[in-house]
Amino acid sequence: MPNFSLSDSVFRAACEQYATPFHLYDERGIRETARRLNRAFAWASDFREYFAVKALPTPAVLRLLRQEGCGLDCASYTELRLAEACGFTGDQVMFSANDVPAEEFAFARRIGATINLDDITHIPELRKNGGIPETVCLRFNPGGHFRVGNAIMGDPGDAKYGMTRPQLSEALATLKGYGVRRFGLHAFLSSNTTDESYFPALARLLFETGRELIAESGLTLAFINLSGGIGVPYRPGEPQANIEAIGEGVRLAYEEVLLANGITGVALKTELGRYMTAPHGWLVAHVTHEKRIYKHYLGLDASACDLMRPAMYGAYHHITIVGRQGEEEKVDVTGSLCENNDKFAVDRMLPRAEIGDILVIHDTGAHGLSMGYNYNGKLRCKEVLYREDGSYTLIRRAETPHDYFATLDMDPVWTRLNEEL
Ligand SMILES: *Cc1c(COP(=O)(O)O)cnc(C)c1O
């Protein structure tokens, strides 16, 4: 299994070039993960990973994924615009949106994106906004609990996404009447799972449902989209997803359900986000304050606005301190927001740190900066790419007060706000 971590000297050198805080992404790691995924599914006809843009919507990263053969999975007009501007068009773009404003279909159709319909009511909306294409994907929600063996892997019955099984049949009958000839099938039933049985079980469900729908509708099954959900080990010692075993498990299901029943030429797609980039990103910050009251706090120059997962989900992100090892003490690691959940770690044992130390928060390469926000007028940090040749490139600058004030341009104070003090 590969080790994705970078050495302390890489973080130190990055800090010499760029003021903290910043997210640092490792080009080599991202490329290697993309190649490994492509190899694991090389057996499939026309396999393509559509990277979930929301996980890391930065053009420099999207472009290097494009060089590795990936497409993009978009969920909004803005993401579609970004995809198009980065050179992704036609069958390199998947549009999977829930509760989507109808007008957004028109732009998705204009750039030739594959439309993944989340609901049966979207059919007339798509018809009016861009029209019904020859190939349409349907998002399936089987309801209840999604079980693999005795383990519950997800609760689709509680999820707002997708169509019921009867709705899939109804949707295809309607779409056929509108000229659809080929369909795809998609479902996302478990999140952040490293269990190697998830994708094979999901694939089997989708292959079997696809087979039924072919028989019912007489349409061609163009592809199965396994979506995202493969997880990464956020905690030291947690297992990595064995992508080769996952690819092999999906291949067996493909043979048993599709090929053995004479169904050939069905392409395979994924929309992984976390698996692709999470382990290849780090939020790099400085310790700026140390406070001892009822607990012991290390304050950083980063906040939950740069990385929301710990505050929002209580998510664990591993933390290391550059150049420090050995004797540990229990601390809370905080940002500066007036919100007591602005903590990157609670009661964490860390090596004894001092003000001025570089503190590194791991696995921030997906759903990191992109989930950030601007509470307390906090400005989101920059992004830096650690290149394969060992150099560093700024790929997104930090936000400025001008960015924060930009939406006030109808207000008389806007000019004042933009004057330099
Ligand atoms: C969020 C999302 C993904 C990616 O999820 P990960 O957990 O990052 O793999 C893929 N497809 C859709 C439709 C999504 O909403």
In whole angstroms, what is the distance from residue 46 CA to residue 250 CA? 14
Q: What is the average pLDDT score of the chain?
A: 96
Please tell me the distance between residue 258's alpha carbon and the centre of ligand 1 in angstroms: 25
Domain with CATH 2.40.37.10 in the chain: 279-408
- Determine whether the shortest distance from the Cβ of 366 to ligand 1 is under 6 A: yes
Residue ranges with strand state E in 113-196: 114-117, 135-139, 146-148, 151-154, 182-186
- Determine whether the shortest distance from the Cβ of 21 to ligand 1 is under 6 A: no
Lookup: tokens for 201: 């079980």
Summarised one tens digit per residue, pLDDT across range 302-341 is 999 999 999 999 999 999 999 999 999 999 999 999 999 9
Single pTM value for the model: 0.97
Summarised one tens digit per residue, pLDDT across range 260-305 is 999 999 999 999 999 999 999 999 999 999 999 999 999 999 999 9
- Determine whether the shortest distance from the Cβ of 274 to ligand 1 is under 6 A: yes
Element (H, E) at 353: none
- Determine whether the shortest distance from the Cβ of 195 to ligand 1 is under 6 A: no
In whole angstroms, what is the distance from residue 264 CA to residue 236 CA? 42
Given this model, what pLDDT does residue 420 score?
74
Task: Give 3-state DSSP helix, strand, coil % of the chain, rounded to 5.
Answer: 35, 25, 40
Given this model, what pLDDT does residue 195 score?
95
Domain with CATH 3.20.20.10 in the chain: 27-276
Given this model, what pLDDT does residue 150 score?
85
3-state secondary structure 251-307: HHHHHHHHHHHCCCCCEEEECCCHHHHHHHEEEEEEEEEEEECCCEEEEECCCCCCC
Given this model, what pLDDT does residue 421 score?
61
Please tell me the distance between residue 229's alpha carbon and the centre of ligand 1 in angstroms: 6
3-state secondary structure 174-227: HHHHCCCCEEEEECCCCCCECCCCHHHHHHHHHHHHHHHHHHHHCCEEEEEECC
Q: Which residues contact 386 (CB under 8 A, 6 or more apart)?
A: 6, 10, 14, 24, 25, 26, 27, 392
DSSP string covering 36-92: HHHHHTTTSTT-EEEEEGGG---HHHHHHHHHTT-EEEE-SHHHHHHHHHTT--GGG
In whole angstroms, what is the distance from residue 81 CA to residue 315 CA? 31
CB burial class (10 A; 0-12, 13-18, 19+) of residue 344? buried
- Determine whether the shortest distance from the Cβ of 273 to ligand 1 is under 6 A: yes
Q: Which CATH number describes the domain made up of 279-408?
A: 2.40.37.10
> Is the CATH number of domain 27-276 3.40.630.10?
no
pLDDT higher than 70, residue 22: yes
pLDDT higher than 70, residue 1: no
pLDDT higher than 60, residue 115: yes
Please tell me the distance between residue 55's alpha carbon and the centre of ligand 1 in angstroms: 8
Lookup: tokens for 75: 């969920």
Q: Which residues contact 341 (CB under 8 A, 6 or more apart)?
A: 304, 310, 311
Closest atom of ligand 1 to 191 CA is 7
Please tell me the distance between residue 116's alpha carbon and the centre of ligand 1 in angstroms: 13
- Determine whether the shortest distance from the Cβ of 55 to ligand 1 is under 6 A: yes
Do residues 54 and 272 make contact, with C-beta atoms less than 8 angstroms apart?
no
Do residues 380 and 398 make contact, with C-beta atoms less than 8 angstroms apart?
yes
- Determine whether the shortest distance from the Cβ of 52 to ligand 1 is under 6 A: yes
